[in-house]
Structures are given as structure tokens and as C-alpha cells.
Structure 1
Amino acid sequence: MTTLQPRPPYTDAELAELYPPQLQLQLVQILLRHGERTPVTPRFTSTGLPAYWSYCNAARHLRSAILEDDSGKFSSLEWKRRLEAFGPNDLPVFAAGPSGDLDAVCDMGMLTDLGRSTTTALGRRLRHLYIDRLGFLPPNLTSSESFYFRTTPIPRALESLQQTIHGLYPSHTRSPDLPPLTIVGRAPGEETLFPNDSNCRRFAALSRAFAQRTADRWNGSDEMAYLTKKIGRWMPEDSPKVAVDSHPRLSGIMDTINATDAHGPDTRLPKEFYDPRARQIIEDIAVEEWFSGYRESQEYRALGIGGLLGDIVTRMAGSAENPPAAAAATAGENQPKKPSSSSSSRPPGIRFAMSGCHDTTLAGALASLGALEGGWPPFTSHIAFELFRHASAPAPSASSSSSSTSWISSLFTRSGSSSAAAGIGRKKTPDLSPAEKQKLDGHHVRVRFNDKPVTIPACKAPGNHLEGDQSFCTLATFKAVVDKFTPENWREECHASGAPAFPSKPEPAGY
């Protein structure tokens, strides 16, 4: 699948079932894949497919911060971007789109106008659910203290996040005196919002091993022969057969097919590339190559996605320890409140988090939870991690509230601070005291992928879910599953070497 076809909004009956009255929504965390983009590298230009596409009108409307003078004042410089390319005899020429356009030409892997549109539409759907229907978030944004936005360093992820924020809170719903929104980023060497094989040597080795196993399984198969028969004539002369590790790789072929299928007639491949059987074969093998490691290996899960899911669970545990003030409010009182001057300087708890990321993030997370069903996540897919508090759950005591004040600060500490180790979020489940385990009681986690609830295997057992609905996992069970592959020192574990790539015994995901 290429472009997500979102389901219709929930009916009243569906909404009542999905959000039962005895459960109070307390925290929502969204992982979203960027919208439609161009291929990350030009492929199959021999078919007539243009190397450069003119679907990026944002290139006409760029703005940069400019330091005016020594006063420290900033202004903005408006500009448009053009791309240069090699011409005859390596002389520079402007890159042009299929119709000769120069000013809307996309860079490689760039978010297109369509991608901006679909991610804005995602934001509107989130607004319809969490504001219009549930009253969970305020209709107008006057403070962003209860929000957490994060993105990978890749521009299409940042831009998709920005478009989704705009859909969630259009300009007319943002207060004129609202301070600039904070969007968090990380240095590449510490990035865990996608599987970081570039900066995690051990994960790169594991990835190569599982990819090679997939190549060994499929390269001589009848399915691969079918692909070669269909599209082999357009493969390079030095790699005439389609293979997992051909040039381009099978996953690269899929990348170009999906990108072209999402866009207009000027950027299409020959019809053989869109043969339904061929596309299904490509997708099935690519999913095995890229994501089977998460399903089979605890170490693969830990290094590929464990840090991110550990962060998600840390916020859930912190919210259970010390619920945000708005969590107990009615729909009309959900506006985040600033602490008074006499209160603690600790920021209010996060109520809504959203991160711009990638297909490998979403599929890696779902596969690690034992919940990846179907194929490759389409453009603009999203996962919603929702934390609920049962109406019968006891309110946190004053002592538990004060002891948990570091859960939020642990996510935003200065370098060298020791407070990042505090709280129960990163404490492994077997190490929790009975009193700490009790703080998780009465809380449930539900995961929705593209608006469809998914069920985690460990949550199916009696006592591990809300009675009558296995998709509502107890927070204690969900945390125990994620704890098993949350790294204690990701950078150190990334430098491990010498161990076999494949586990000696089964390590199924989701338990």
C-alpha cells in the first residue's frame, strides 16, 4: 500500500465502545510517519521516469532567521530554492521537473505537496477525535506546556510534524500571544526515534545478518523469478536479476514504486511495476528483511526501537504516578494550566506527545510489541499510544506525588544531572517494590494503528487486560513487555561485538 486511505470517523456507537465511560483518557502519544515524498535516490530513469519531480511548491516559500546586527535582533529572509545538477561535460544546469519547471523541484526524499496535504489531514482527524468528540484537548491553544513534540533530523519528518500540528491546531485556534512551540530534536549519534544503524554498530551488524538471511531464502525462489520476468528488463546491466540485494535492492525498488504510485501521471513507471502479484511479493519480502529481527530477537528490539518505547513507557508511568492536573477535568476544563508562582518549578505533566518519524519506526515498534499485522506502513500512517485511568483506581497519595516529581524532569535534564535515574518509568518491573507496582494499578494502555486497535500477545492472558476487551492492556503488563527490551545504556550496548546475530532460543515479541 502506498497512500493511506483513512477510515471514516468513528460512529457514536464505535466511540462509546472504544472509549468506555469507566476509563478516563489521561495521556496520548502519537508516532506518525511522514507524508508522501519523492524517492530517496533516482532509479529507473531508463524507463523515462524523471530524476527530478516538481511537486514541492514549498521550495518557493522558504524563510530563514537572519541576525540583523550586534543588537541581537533577528529578522527573516524570504527566498526560494533551485537545484543544480550535472549537465553536458559536467557543466552545472538547473534541475527541471517533467514540464520544465525550475522552482518547485523536489530534492531526493523530499516531502511533496501531497505529503503536506495528507499530514495536515491527519492533524484534522486527530482534532476531530481528541477535541471535537472526546474533549480531551482544549479547542484553542494558549499554552503548550502539556505538549511534547519531537522529530528526527530528516526534514520530511519535521515538516510532516509541523503540518500535522497545523491540522490539530490551525492558526485561528492558536492564541496570538502563544510562545513559539518547542520541537525537540537530537544529535544523530543519540537518535532513537528511528532504528539508528548509522550510529549503532551492533544494530547495523544485526540488520545485515537478518537481511542476508532473507536474501538466502528468497533470491533463488520462484517469486523472485517472477519479479525478474516482470521488471528485469529495466534493471541495470550489472544487476539484471531482481534480488533482495540487487542494485537497486528490492526494498529500493519498492520505494520507487510506492513514491510514483502516490503521485501524478508525469512520474509513473511502466505498468509492469504495478502488477498486483509483483507488488505483494516485493512487500512481503521487504517486511521480512527489515522487520523479522524485531519479531525474533530481544537484542534487535532493544537496539532498534527499545529506547523509544522505553521513553513512551516512562511518560506513562510518570503520568500514573502524578496525573496531569487536566486529566481529571471535564471537557470544558481541559485547558493546560500554568503553575502558580508559589508552586513547584516542575513543568506540568505531558498530556499529548507527537513525534515525526518514519515507516521503520512504526513497523519496528509494532513488530517489537508482537502487533505488526499486514504489510509496510503507508505514507502518513500513525500509532496512538493511549493511557487510561480506571474510575475505580485510587487517587495518588500526596507522598507518591512528591516522590514522582522527577519523572518529567528526567526527560529534560541538563547534562550531568542525576535525576534522570529517578522515578519508576525506567525501573525494570522485577525491581519494583510492591508500593511502586501499586502505582500502576487501575491504568490501561491501548495501541491504535491507523485508527484500528491492535492487541499485544501478553495482554491476552487473564488479568492482563480490561475485562471484555483484550486491546486494553494493563499498564503493568505493557510496561513489563517493554522493559524486557528497553536498553539500560544504548550507546554502550551499540558497541557490543562478537556475539551471534541470531538468538540461540526463540525470543518472540510481545511477551
Structure 2
Amino acid sequence: MTTLQPRSPYSDDEIAKLYPQSLELQQVQILLRHGERTPVNARFKNTGLPAYWSYCEAARNFRYVILSADRSWDTLHWKRRLETFGPDDAPALAAGPKEEVDTVCQPGELTDRGRETTLALGQRTRKLYVDQLGFLPSGLDAASSQTVYLRSTPIQRALESTQQAFTGLYPPSARSPDLQPPSIVTRSMQDETLFPNEGACKRFAQLSAAFADRTAQLWNDSPELAYVNRKIGKWMPKESPVVKVDSHPRLSGIMDTINATLAHGPNTKLPSEFYDERVVANIDRICTEEWFVGYQESNEYRTLGIGGTVGDLTQRMIEHVSGKPAGAHTAGGDFKIGLSGCHDTTLAATLTALGVFDALKDKWPNYTSSIAIELFKRKDGSATAPSTATTTGAIWPAKEKRWWSSLFSSSAAPTASARTPLADLSTMNRGKLDDNFVRLRYNDRPLTLPFCQQAGRHLDGDESFCTLAAFKEAADSFTPKNWKAECSMNLGEPGVRPVLEKPPGL
């Protein structure tokens, strides 16, 4: 729920098992949750918890680009201070627990601790893909600048976490003087699908509200919340004295403050009852159901909540295999590793939609958690595909080299593209994907997707290596064809339906 305790680097024996000689690593895409942050709202001030936290040393060192009168560019180095209400509404500087004014954080801001842990994530990434595997170059220069693709949601803590992770992966000493500033791709909030976007998708907002209401009905009078109330209810505000899923603050808001305080120093701590093991476990269980059970039960929920992200990940792998990366996200070329700064809801939604989140020991993703989506190719291109039937029951041929040239040629169907569903591709083309495999690692733990466990959908002898064809088929089942249009469909229809639509493979 809070600070991630990363495992030590893989041993040589683990590397040999995780990266078999028969496969060649082709591409890695990493979804990374931002690092530690302050709560998004000031809560429980009646416990003595300060409203303002002084964990943001970056506030002393902001730099912004300035356009001068002569049309030249310069930078302004400035120091931020926050102002708030004082006595009689007189303006006053916001101060931390020890009257600090120059390091005060904004609500929800990445803290110094969060910068450290996301930098460390980048360093661990370098250790694996540069030092141990030799997959990435040790340094970046103008010729190799396309090696890395950087993406972030427009939320500042995610953007800064991406910057920290990139710096850990390629510190200044590993970047040549001729290297241009890296491009970080973002979207406007109305177009963002790198996290479940209730604000831009009306139908998803309705679905989220429906599942939240159902969770409240199921859990508000439960023994689990009764225990939470006995422990911390005395600190709830008078206008909402009972802890509920839908209380004020909401149960998820209480969890937000607990997690943020656990991740930081002694000056920002709640009373000990908030950290009672059963309190933490009960809150985690209920909030996880409120936010993520919809991905287990509703294909519409999966499609509108995280289908765009999974579709983008899949598209980039297909583009890599085809040798025809398309779109501005590649900045004119292919990439070997992508870092995408996102959120806990991104990671949990992705894993739940693919059917593996419920099997994980850690329910709510910790700060700086990550999913590495790795693309492999069989080294011997003429090797036979898995010997048993694939997802449609056929045995795919191992011949017909360079099949993507036919897929994208003028003789191919005009609608064929990297986003074209597997079911709409020819039998031969679907089968040829089996020379490529996809594996997910969550916080360095390899995962086995339920959809890929059947014979023919994975590498012989290792179910964690899903065939690219099978992974694409699973992703296609909840990738939207037109996200914005689908966000305006079914408005007003029931959000929770009696028939469960399970994730692919379950």
C-alpha cells in the first residue's frame, strides 16, 4: 500500500532462467507508478497531523523557460512559497511542522522521498537492461537517442517521476554533450487514457459510481468496517462521524492519508490506531474492491477504464514486429525501452483486466510499483510454433517469412494496421505471430496470464511467455475502437449488471 521494498538484483542463475538463450529481447515498456507524495487533501488535522508537509526541497529550485524581449530564451530560477489564510482571513505563508516555508509541498505533490525511489527504479532498470543483459546501450548520444520513449500523464507527480526514472536509467554521465533534450510525450486531460479517466469519460464515471455504490452497500455495515470504526472513528469529523466507503472523507481518502504518512517522517504521522494491522488490511481489501472489481466483472468497465492503455502497449509491440512504427509517439523511429509515468489505478487496472491482479500478494500498488511488458523473438526464426493448437484450434505454419510486408502492402486489406484485431487478420498472419512472445513482470515478479495458460498460447515449458498472438487476442477483447465515442454510449444504463463478464482466460 505504501513504500515499495524492492528485491535485490537478479542473480546470474535467475537471469539465465528468466531470459532463456532461445529468445531475444526486443522491446520493453514499463508502466511506473509515481513515487511517494503528500495526501491529495489535508485530512485528520484534529489528530495533530500538519496540513502542510515540508518534504519538497525542489520548491527551492524551480526553473522555467522565459522568452525575452529580444525573442531569445532564458531560464528563471525561482523559489516557491505557498500562501494560505491566517487569522481573520489575513494572508499568511503556509508552514510545515517546524515552521518551514521554503520546502512546503502542494497537495498530492511528489516529495523528496518520491524522487529518491523513482530515481532508484531507473537505476534498477539500468542494472538489469544495461549491465546484466546488455540490451540497452550504456550511454545515449545523438545516434542512439531513439532508444528511449518517455510518456507521462499530465499530472505533475507522474511527469516528475518519469524524469527521475529516466535520470536513473541514463544519468548525466551517460549522456553525450550532443544529445538533445529528451522528449516526454503527454496528452491533454480530455484525451488521456494512461489512467482510468472518469473526468473525460462520462460512461466510465457512471460505471465507477455504480460499483462504488455497490461496494458501500456491501461493506458499510460489515464487521470489517465496524472494527475500523472502533479504532479510528473518534477522529472522524462531526458531520460524518462514521467511517464508511462513502463517508467524508471517503474510505479511499482515509487510505490515501495512511499511505502517505507511512511513507514519510515522524513529523507527519497519525495516531498509532491508524496503523493497526487489521485496520490497514480491512481498508485495503474494501478499497481494492471499490476501485477495481469492475475490471473483473464488466468488459465495458475494462474497455473504457484501461483498454486504451493496453491497446497502446500492444500496438507498439506490433509496430516493432512489423518494422513499421507509425505515429508521432516514436519520434521518427523505433524504441527499445519505454517509460510511462502513471498511477496506482493504471497498474491495478491493467493487471485486473488481464486477470492477474487478484492473485498478487500486494493488493493496492505501492508507490513506485511498475509493470515491465517485455517483447521477445525466437532466435531461430524457422523454429516451429508451439506444437499444439492455438487459440482458434489451428496449427499455424512456420513458413512464409516477412509476412508483415504483405499485411501492410497495397494488396492488403485497406483497414489492416497494428490496431487491427487478431480476429480480422488472416490465419497465416495470426500464426506467424507465434515467433514472438510477451511477458509481464510486476515489481520484478514474472506473471502468468490466465489467457495464455492453454496449450499453444505460450512458450513450451514456460507459461509466463505468452505468444504475441494470444496476448493481442486478450488485449483486443477490451481495446476500444473509438474511446471518445464509446464514452458517450449507454449513458444512463445500469452500471452493475447481473451477468459477470470475466477477464480473458478466466
Q: Structures share a fold, TM > 0.5?
A: yes
Equivalent in the alignment of 2:3: 3
Q: Which runs of 5+ in 2 are unaligned?
A: 383-398
Equivalent in the alignment of 1:502: 496
Superposed CA RMSD: 1.8
Distance in 2 (CA, whole Å) between partners of 1:233 and 1:55 is 28
| Structural mapping, 1:251-270, within 5 Å | 251-270=252-271
Q: Does 1:124 align with 2:123?
A: yes
2:370 to 374, 382, 393: 382
Distance in 2 (CA, whole Å) between partners of 1:224 and 1:249 is 12
SS of alignment partner, residue 225 of structure 1: helix
Distance in 2 (CA, whole Å) between partners of 1:276 and 1:399 is 56
Residue 52 of structure 1 contacts residue 106 of structure 1 at CA under 8 Å; is this kept in 2? Answer: yes
1:402 CA displacement = 8.1
SS of alignment partner, residue 367 of structure 2: coil
- CA deviations on 1:298-336 (whole Å, 9 max, x unpaired) are 000000000010000001111122289xxxxxxxxxxxx
Equivalent in the alignment of 2:59: 59
Equivalent in the alignment of 2:249: 248
SS of alignment partner, residue 99 of structure 1: coil
Equivalent in the alignment of 1:352: 337
Equivalent in the alignment of 1:44: 44
Equivalent in the alignment of 1:331: none
Distance in 2 (CA, whole Å) between partners of 1:348 and 1:312 is 16
Distance in 2 (CA, whole Å) between partners of 1:197 and 1:398 is 42
Residue 38 of structure 2 contacts residue 106 of structure 2 at CA under 8 Å; is this kept in 1? Answer: yes
Equivalent in the alignment of 2:349: 364
- CA deviations on 1:29-65 (whole Å, 9 max, x unpaired) are 0000000000000000000000000000000001000
Equivalent in the alignment of 1:474: 467
Report which stretch shifted further, 264-273 or 373-382: 373-382
Q: Does 1:488 align with 2:481?
A: yes
SS of alignment partner, residue 434 of structure 2: coil
1:97 CA displacement = 0.4
1:502 CA displacement = 2.5
SS of alignment partner, residue 187 of structure 2: coil
1:439 CA displacement = 4.0
Q: Does 1:79 align with 2:78?
A: yes
Identity percentage over the alignment? 56
SS of alignment partner, residue 128 of structure 1: helix
1:455 CA displacement = 1.2
1:509 CA displacement = 1.1
Equivalent in the alignment of 2:16: 16
Structure 2 vs 1, CA of residues 257 and 474 (structure 1 numbering), >3 Å: closer, same or farther? same
Structure 2 vs 1, CA of residues 438 and 73 (structure 1 numbering), >3 Å: closer, same or farther? farther
SS of alignment partner, residue 473 of structure 1: strand
- CA deviations on 1:416-455 (whole Å, 9 max, x unpaired) are xxxxx96542111111112431441211100000000111
SS of alignment partner, residue 440 of structure 1: helix
Distance in 2 (CA, whole Å) between partners of 1:153 and 1:170 is 23
Distance in 1 (CA, whole Å) between partners of 2:48 and 2:269 is 9
1:248 CA displacement = 0.4
Structure 2 vs 1, CA of residues 346 and 255 (structure 1 numbering), >3 Å: closer, same or farther? closer
| Structural mapping, 1:157-306, within 5 Å | 157-306=158-307
SS of alignment partner, residue 153 of structure 1: coil
1:148 CA displacement = 1.4
- CA deviations on 1:81-132 (whole Å, 9 max, x unpaired) are 0000111111110000001111000000000000000000000000000000
Residue 422 of structure 2 contacts residue 473 of structure 2 at CA under 8 Å; is this kept in 1? Answer: yes
Distance in 2 (CA, whole Å) between partners of 1:13 and 1:216 is 50
Give TM-score, length-normalised by structure 2.
Answer: 0.91
1:398 CA displacement = 5.7
- Paired letter, 2:8: P
Residue 52 of structure 1 contacts residue 105 of structure 1 at CA under 8 Å; is this kept in 2? Answer: yes
Residue 216 of structure 2 contacts residue 246 of structure 2 at CA under 8 Å; is this kept in 1? Answer: yes
- Paired letter, 1:239: S
- Paired letter, 1:103: D
Number of positions where the alignment pairs a residue of Structure 1 with one of Structure 2? 476
SS of alignment partner, residue 355 of structure 1: strand
- Paired letter, 1:190: D
- Paired letter, 2:346: T
Structure 2 vs 1, CA of residues 134 and 402 (structure 1 numbering), >3 Å: closer, same or farther? farther
SS of alignment partner, residue 145 of structure 1: helix
1:256 CA displacement = 0.2
SS of alignment partner, residue 375 of structure 2: strand
Residue 322 of structure 1 contacts residue 401 of structure 1 at CA under 8 Å; is this kept in 2? Answer: no
Distance in 1 (CA, whole Å) between partners of 2:448 and 2:504 is 9
Distance in 1 (CA, whole Å) between partners of 2:212 and 2:189 is 23
Equivalent in the alignment of 1:113: 112
Residue 36 of structure 1 contacts residue 262 of structure 1 at CA under 8 Å; is this kept in 2? Answer: yes
1:348 CA displacement = 2.6
Residue 408 of structure 2 contacts residue 416 of structure 2 at CA under 8 Å; is this kept in 1? Answer: yes
Distance in 2 (CA, whole Å) between partners of 1:90 and 1:346 is 50
Distance in 1 (CA, whole Å) between partners of 2:485 and 2:343 is 25
Residue 62 of structure 1 contacts residue 80 of structure 1 at CA under 8 Å; is this kept in 2? Answer: yes
1:145 CA displacement = 1.7
- Paired letter, 2:241: P
1:168 CA displacement = 0.2
